[in-house]
Amino acid sequence: MTITHPVGIQPAERAVRLLGGDLTETALRLHLDGLTGVDAVGLEQRAAGLSTRSIKTSSKAWALDTIIRTCDLTTLEGADTPGKVRSLVAKAITPDASDPTTPSVAAVCVYGDMVPYAVEALGSRHAAGGTEGIQVAAVATAFPSGRASLAIKLADTRDAVAAGADEIDMVIDRGAFLAGNYGLVFDQIVAVREACIRPDGSHAHLKVILETGELQTYDNVKRASWLAILAGADFIKTSTGKVSPAATLPVTLLMLEVIRDWHRLTGEKIGMKPAGGIRASKDAVRYLVTVAETVGEEWLTPQLWRFGASSLVNDVLLQRQKMRTGHYSGPDYVTVD
Q: Is 169 a catalytic residue?
A: yes
Cα–Cα distances in angstroms (integers) from residue 254 to residues 18, 189, 248, 298, 329, in the given order: 20, 21, 10, 18, 31
Between strands 271-273 and 235-237, the pairing is parallel
Instruction: Name 111's Cβ contacts closer than 8 Å, sequence gap at least 6.
Output: 76, 80, 138, 139, 143
Q: Is 56 a catalytic residue?
A: no
Q: What is the pLDDT of residues 8-63, one digit of tens each?
A: 345 567 777 777 766 788 888 888 999 999 999 999 999 999 887 766 766 889 99
Q: Which of 60, 91, 222, 237 is catalytic?
A: 237
Residue 162 backbone phi and psi in degrees, to 5: -65, -30
User: b vs e for 211-221, b when ≥16 Cβ sit within 10 Å of the residue's Cβ?
Assistant: bbbbbeebbbb
Which stretches of the chain drop beneath a pLDDT of 50?
A: 1-9, 333-337
Q: Which of 60, 153, 222, 273 is catalytic?
A: 273
Q: Which of 96, 169, 173, 315 is catalytic?
A: 169
Q: What pLDDT score does 2 carry?
A: 38
List, in sequence order, every residue forming a beta bridge with 208; answer none if it has no partner. Answer: 170, 236
On whether the 56-325 domain is CATH 3.20.20.70, my answer is yes
Count of helices and strands (H, E) across the chain: 13, 7
Q: Which DSSP string do the residues of 45-69 spell out, in sequence order?
A: HHHHHTTS----HHHHHHHHHHHHH
Domain map (residue ranges) of the chain = 56-325
Cα–Cα distances in angstroms (integers) from residue 256 to residues 65, 67, 238, 271, in the given order: 22, 17, 11, 9
Cα 1 to Cα 4: distance, rounded to the nearest angstrom:
9
Q: Is 156 a catalytic residue?
A: no
**Coil, strand or helix: which one is 108?**
strand
Q: What is the pLDDT of residues 143-177, one digit of tens each?
A: 999 999 999 999 999 999 999 999 999 999 999 99
Q: What is the pTM of this model?
A: 0.92
Sort 36 into a burial class: Cβ within 10 Å, 0-12 / 13-18 / 19+.
Answer: exposed
Sort 89 into a burial class: Cβ within 10 Å, 0-12 / 13-18 / 19+.
Answer: buried
Cα radius of gyration rounded to whole Å, the chain? 19
Cα 183 to Cα 121: distance, rounded to the nearest angstrom:
40
